[in-house]
Chains A and B, each alone.
Chain A
Amino acid sequence: MTIDARRAVLRGFAAACLAATMLSGAVRAETLGPVTDDVGVVKIAKGQPILIGALLVLSGPDLSLGVDASRGAEIAFDDHKNTLVGHPIRYLPEDGQCSVEGGQTGATRLASNRQIVGVLGTACSSESRGGAPILWNAGMPQAVTSATAPALTAPDRPVGLQGIVRFVYNDINGAGAAVKYAQSVRATKVATMHDGSLYAEELVNAFARQFKAAGGTIVAAEAISPSDTDLRPVLTRIGTTKPELLFAPIFVGASAYLVRQAKEVPTLASTPVLGTDAVLAPAFLDAAGDGAVGYRLTGVDNDPKLMGARYGDFLAKYKEKFGEDPIGGFHGNGYDAALAMMTAIEKVAKTDAGGDTYIGRKALRDALMQTADLDGITGKLTCDKNGDCGSSHFAVFEYASGDPSTFKLGANPKKVFP
């Protein structure tokens, strides 16, 4: 091949690449069977299963967040007899590792299976930061179980996050609960600490805004990295500002270091620490041991009295299926996310004469967004225009023992507020 010929081939290749890039950016509706959809259509042949994926943290210190929600979802499928619009349901959970990178990896694996209709999760906000754009690029809407960062459903969110519909509270409300608690213990000077994760940073910011608006002062706003083990220098620094409460919505590993090391810093030894339901898990007791005793955290109030009789039945099924009581605080959200996904699929799925089913991807996302009066485990759920559908009553819990085998919502940790 002469040099000129080689150049011509290269030029042709470059032009083809450019054209392909431009075309792929354009919106092209897809029509398959009786369904036309802007994003794409999934065809499920007669007798084939409907695939529902999940992207949840299933390993590492924070696995309770994801495993608990995943178990809730499995019970929802059981309640639906594992069938949907005439097809069996196949549930495909992937591990998101509670990190941006894990979310990306898990989402890529899910997105490679184009038969997946929708995805439950994520459990951690960071997983969505990495995974949501990949999933929505593949046209898979998400029913979020416990990722609570406000950015995920902000009105001005980027295109990549527009597949997200959230079946858990938004941290703007979670921060409100923490502010209420701070006021109830008459704290006016509060220090905050986050670990740089999307969840913790946004929650701390929301808390600071609301607490200042309520007349309080943030005396120190500190940050650590999730892998830090020696928190004593930063705690010493916080101690110099003499806070009356330390609000630290960080995850299991770092929280366990925090509770043990805070007691070794003389100026902070008697300051109460408030965490969140990110550490509402036996794994936290595994890591913190007796250091956990007295540690308080905000979380969803799963008091069976408040949740109604249906929650009691749910708990019985959970125990029967998995041989233990719930291991975290988001089983109800997992159930509701699965329920909403199934309801939305039923609403948009169209079956032709041959028994094949067609589901429009954008239609499914829109149907999820329009969820209204859904009778969930965590309450009656209606989505707002941004895709926030969570209804949660908040409470503050306190750990009474460091033995992981004693973990039971309502007993250890026990409810102390309101």
Chain B
Amino acid sequence: MVQDWLRRATFVDWFLLALRIAVVAVVGTGFVAGLLHPRYSRAEWFSFLAFGLTIGAIYALIALGYTMVYGILRMVNFAHGDVFMFGAYAACFSLLACNRAGILGPDPALSFLIATVVCIAVSAGVAVLAERIAYRPFRRGRSLAPLISTLGLSFVLEYSARGMFGAQNKAFPSMPAVDGIVAFAGFSVPRVQVVVVAAAVLTMVVLTLIVMRTRIGTAMRAVAEDRDAATLMGINVDRVIVFTFALGGALAGIAGLLYGLVFKQISFFMGFFLGVKGFGAAVLGGIGNIPGAMLGGYALGLVESLGPAAFLEGLGVSSPYQLRDAIAYTMLVMVLIFRPRGLLGERLSTARA
């Protein structure tokens, strides 16, 4: 087999092999050097892990929106990050309203429920609007028009938010119920992180049930597999598309609420950076693949929080956290070099091949 490879290998194959070896060597050296000079205690490693899981959960929820729309339409909805931003503002204003009504402190569960419902409604509404305005008019044409129009819509959404809510960063109301620290397996973790990770996992379970067990979920999978065949089988493709946008929007809305709870500060421009990260996570996991988006989100979050400490520290890089995004995106590129279709592969790839 090796001989066979040697016979067929081209310059590009040799280059990729060298690149892979170099990457493994650099990462391995950094990792081993880091282990030899331990700087962090177990509690701190655990904190990094918890941070990574928290931000990873948020990336995963955003990535799911990208991946579902891609799975069905093979189009990237660049306005998705801004749908997330609207969810965060909706959650922020509903929690402020709960605070004014005096139920935020005494009845946190009810406030959380109200905020969840409001942010789901707003984000799903904005996502459906995006589909109606920026996607549907261009459906019939086989061009890049829908892609460009979602980009344009993204700016429209950002700057309408700026007009409505102001250019300044806004403080997210803190919920006393999720403040504080809980002991977990001998380590202490901020309670809000536990709540966020649990809520994200719960959301993903619900999503999996919707996609795998309901009629509309089956229809979604059918449209993703082969849109023309699905139409012939009597599936209302338009309805499925609207539902997909709404579902992705709802997940982004929940991500907005959870983001606000963790980082306690939101701004009209936040959708851009997190949208890019979410898209990266979706590609990392294999775009179009729902479990892939979840995995990609968590992987990206964990690499961001653990990477600088695990690899760069050992390589003697100063201020390693400034390079966090560089690590995350380098990893994205590396994964795509090793596995061009993402960690779990594009679901559509088999149909296309």
Contact = CB atoms under 8 A, between A and B. Distances in A.
B214 interface: no
B321 A287 contact: no
Given A221-B319, A224-B322, A264-B190, A289 B263 contact: no
Interface residues of B, number: 37
Contacts of A350: none
Contacts, number: 105
Given A222-B319, A257-B263, A290-B174, A236 B48 contact: yes
Size category of the A interface is: 35 or more
Given A224-B322, A283-B168, A287-B169, A253 B264 contact: no
Interface in A281-312: 283, 285-291
B188 interface: yes
Interface in A242-277: 252-253, 256-257, 260-261, 264-267
A224 B169 contact: no
B39 interface: yes
A63 B263 contact: no
A236 B319 CA distance: 13
A252 B265 CA distance: 11
Interface in A59-99: 59-61, 63
B322 A196 contact: yes
A257 B40 contact: no
B267 interface: yes
Interface in B33-54: 39-41, 43-44, 47-48, 51
A7 interface: no
B321 A253 contact: no
Contacts of B305: 230, 233
A290 B175 CA distance: 12
B264 A260 contact: yes
> Which of B41, B172, B190: most chain A Cβ within 10 A?
B190
A400 B23 CA distance: 50
A63 B273 CA distance: 21
A260 B321 CA distance: 18
Contacts of B43: 266
B321 A256 contact: no
B40 A240 contact: yes
Contact of B264 (A224, A234, A236, A289): A289
B324 interface: yes
Given A221-B318, A225-B325, A61 B168 contact: yes
B190 A257 contact: no
A230 B305 CA distance: 9
A290 B320 CA distance: 30
A266 B318 CA distance: 23
A61 B325 contact: no
B17 interface: no
A367 interface: no
Interface in B94-151: none
A402 interface: yes
B171 A230 contact: no
Contacts of A261: 263
Given A230-B55, A233-B309, A59 B167 contact: yes
A220 to B, nearest CB: 9
A286 B48 CA distance: 28
Interface string A220-238: 0111110111101110110
B339 interface: no
Contact of B167 (A63, A267, A288, A402): A63
B171 A233 contact: no
B55 A223 contact: no
Given A230-B51, A232-B47, A287 B322 contact: no
A287 B265 contact: yes
B170 interface: yes
Nearest to A225: B322
Contact of A288 (B44, B171, B309): B171
A79 B323 CA distance: 49
B308 interface: yes
Interface in B277-326: 304-305, 308-309, 318-322, 324-325
A252 B48 contact: no
A402 B51 CA distance: 26
B325 A286 contact: no
Nearest to A60: B167
Nearest to B264: A260
12 contacts: A228-B321, A233-B305, A233-B308, A237-B308, A239-B44, A240-B40, A252-B168, A252-B169, A261-B263, A266-B181, A287-B168, A287-B171
The 7 closest A-B pairs by CB, nearest first: A289-B171, A287-B169, A223-B319, A234-B321, A223-B322, A283-B168, A233-B305
